[in-house]
Amino acid sequence: MQVGLEGSSAGQWWLEMIGKTLDEGSTFIRVGFRQLAGLVISVWVRSSISRYVGDVDVAAVPCGFGRAIGNKGAVGLRMRVYDRTMCFVNCHFAAHLEAVSRRNADFDHVYRTMVFSRPSNFLSAAAAGVSSAIQMLRSANGAFNSAEAMPELSEADMVVFLGDLNYRLDGISYDEARDFISQRCFDWLRERDQLHTEMAAGNVFQGMREAVIRFPPTYKFERHQIGLAGYDSGEKKRIPAWCDRILYRDSRSASASACSLDCPIVSSVLQYEACMDVTDSDHKPVRCIFNVEIARVDESVRRQEYGEIIRSNEKVVLMLGELNKIPEAIVSTNNIILQNMNSSILRITNKSGKNKAIFEITCEGESTVKDDGQVVDHPPRGSFGFPRWLEVNPAAGIIEPDHIVEILVHHEDHQTLEEFVDGIPQNFWCEDAKDKEVTLAINVRGCFSTETKCHRIRVRHCFSGKPLPAEIMPNNSNNLRTNVLHRSDFQPLGFAPDVVDDLINLNSP
């Protein structure tokens, strides 16, 4: 990463130079880049681990005049590494010794409003849970109320803030600071550091930490002057300060937490130093090397363990068996005859006392019966394969335990105006004079079962001018009531459990 670039041309030059140094395209691959005025952030990853890095996204937040100008602000990059989310944010906050509150406000604005184009919740979906550090950070930023959306940066497993944060040294003169620096008395100088004081008070960078500073203040230097003698000696004599910083948080809620699925990222700082030999800027660059442990799930091992549990654990086997059970369902008839434009009611009863039943009705085939008894098959068409002349409503649904659902089976007149001549259907003496028959398949399954049980119902529409065929003529009037189901044949049924027993007593063909 690099900070403090001035202009897009300079930013592009730095990208090219760093890429050349890293052997970009071979040893390293650049995965993301974002620039806002003089701020640039870019990330390279080793080619050997690039397949484990993805979902790279970038964002920018201006903090200049009116929160609209990019001379101050931040650019961020978020990426997924081994299914864990990491964010890097390069910042340039308000200048001047007295502007502590403005710098705090800049951080707060960046932290709250940095939004990446992809939602952050799906990036962490593969993780085994929300890390404890996220919870800690949420509680530390107590200003966020429940009605306000949580900042996206708070959802990351690891966040690194870096750049020219512009915090200065308080209560010390220029000469005193120079004297302590020459003696390398950095401990005393750190006590005067504004950022150290504000973080201790919980005013900024809540939940984050910084490695111990063991290098001289990085601001302000005369350009092209080597060594500590290069500190600003002009008219203003700006007091040296650690303006350039790198802060971070990982998944730990305590420094002693070990890396685990509950604490998926644990990091430690191996090196934190300033590049004091750089003289092209009035700042000295700061670099930090992290050692990052990432807990990840080995999917192949998890699948093996999951399979072993399913096969060997008696309780799990029993539970899965219960889930895969198909609720017992009763269908009120297997034969429906329609004449004219009448309707019939088909009832499906869920006899299970605790499991819901899911049903779906489809048409397995349609046929036309000619006067000579010859059957002509037609391919299914329309929704669920129903022919245009047949309405089945509802054709799918859920039946609560010990409940009944009523299905309307209705013959529809589907002829259009073009099919009439002088008010008489053109096919009145052909198609409509023939009996039509379909086989309905009622597939019933449980909410979690993959298997289904099929009940088949024959539905036949007989032309009103013809007598009922002998093979479906009932032997007596009682059988007719069970085969030809009209809405008027039934009293209104409630949904009490005793209704199930009442329906069982109905005679079936």
pLDDT > 50? residue 76: yes
Q: Residue 88: is its pLDDT beyond 90?
A: yes
Lowest-confidence segment of 15-24, 353-362, 393-402, 429-438 by average pLDDT: 429-438
Mean pLDDT, residues 310-328: 85
State the pLDDT at residue 381.
56
Least confident window among 91-95, 143-147, 261-265, 339-343: 143-147
pLDDT at 131 over 70: no
* 503 confidence band (pLDDT: 50, 70, 90): very low
For residue 151, pLDDT over 70 is answered with: yes
Rounded to 5°, angle at Cα 83 from 303 and 109: 150
Mean pLDDT of 443-454: 89
Look at strands 420-421 and 424-425 and give their pairing: antiparallel
Under the banding of pLDDT at 50, 70 and 90, the label for residue 493 is very low
Q: Which fold has domain 8-296?
A: Deoxyribonuclease I; Chain A (3.60.10)
Rounded Cα distance between 72 and 95, Å, is 9
**Residue 40 host element (H or E):** strand 39-46
Backbone φ/ψ region at 144: left (φ over 0), alpha (ψ -120 to 50), beta: beta
More confident residue, 9 or 95: 95
Dihedral sign (CA 95, 100, 101, 106): positive
Q: Over range 377-399, report the average pLDDT.
A: 78
Q: What's the pTM?
A: 0.61
Confidence of residue 139 (pLDDT cuts 50, 70, 90): very low
Closest CA to 3 of 106, 65, 110, 76: 76
Query: How many Å apart are CA 324 and CA 445, to the nearest integer?
Result: 9
For residue 474, pLDDT over 80 is answered with no
Question: Which pLDDT value is given to residue 480?
Answer: 34
CA–CA separation, 500 and 352 (whole Å) = 10
Distance (Å, whole) CA 400 – CA 405: 9
In this structure, are residues 223 and 211 in contact, taking their beta carbons and an 8 Å threshold?
A: no
Please check the confidence at residue 355 and state whether its pLDDT lies above 60: yes
Q: What is the DSSP letter of 332?
A: S
pLDDT at residue 384 above 70? no
Distance separating alpha carbons of residues 227 and 488, to the nearest angstrom: 102
For residue 25, give the 3-state DSSP assignment: coil
Mean pLDDT across 454-466 = 81
Tell me: pLDDT of 121 over 80: no
Q: What is the mean pLDDT of residues 258-287?
A: 95
Look at residue 130 and tell me whether its pLDDT is greater than 90: no
501, pLDDT greater than 60: no
pLDDT of residue 483: 38
Q: Give the pLDDT score at 432.
A: 53
* Whether the predicted pLDDT of 28 surpasses 70: yes
**Domain ranges (residues) in the chain:** 8-296, 298-324, 329-504
Mean pLDDT of 464-473: 55
Closest CA to 337 of 391, 407, 409, 408: 409
- What pLDDT is stored for residue 235 in this prediction? 87
Residue 382 pLDDT class (50, 70, 90 cuts) = low
Residues paired with residue 269 on neighbouring β-strands, in sequence order: 290
Q: Whose structure tokens read 């950095």? A: 186
DSSP state at residue 49: G
Give me the half-sphere count of Cα atoms (radius 13 Å) on the Cβ side of residue 462: 17
For residues 86 and 155, what is the distance between their CA atoms, to the nearest angstrom?
A: 9
- State mean pLDDT over 235-262: 91
For domain 329-504, the CATH architecture is Sandwich (2.60)
| Mean pLDDT confidence for 189-200 | 97
Rg of the chain in Å (alpha carbons): 38
Rounded distance, CA 461 to CA 392, Å? 14
In the prediction, which pLDDT does 148 show? 59
Q: Looking at residue 470, what is its pLDDT? A: 54
Q: What is the pLDDT of residue 451?
A: 86
- Mean pLDDT for 413-427 is 53
pLDDT of res. 502: 42
Higher pLDDT, 450 or 240: 240
pLDDT at residue 191 tops 90 = yes
Average pLDDT of the chain is 82
Task: Identify the pLDDT of residue 372.
Answer: 58
Mean pLDDT of the 288-308 span: 92
CB atoms within 10 A of CB 144: 17
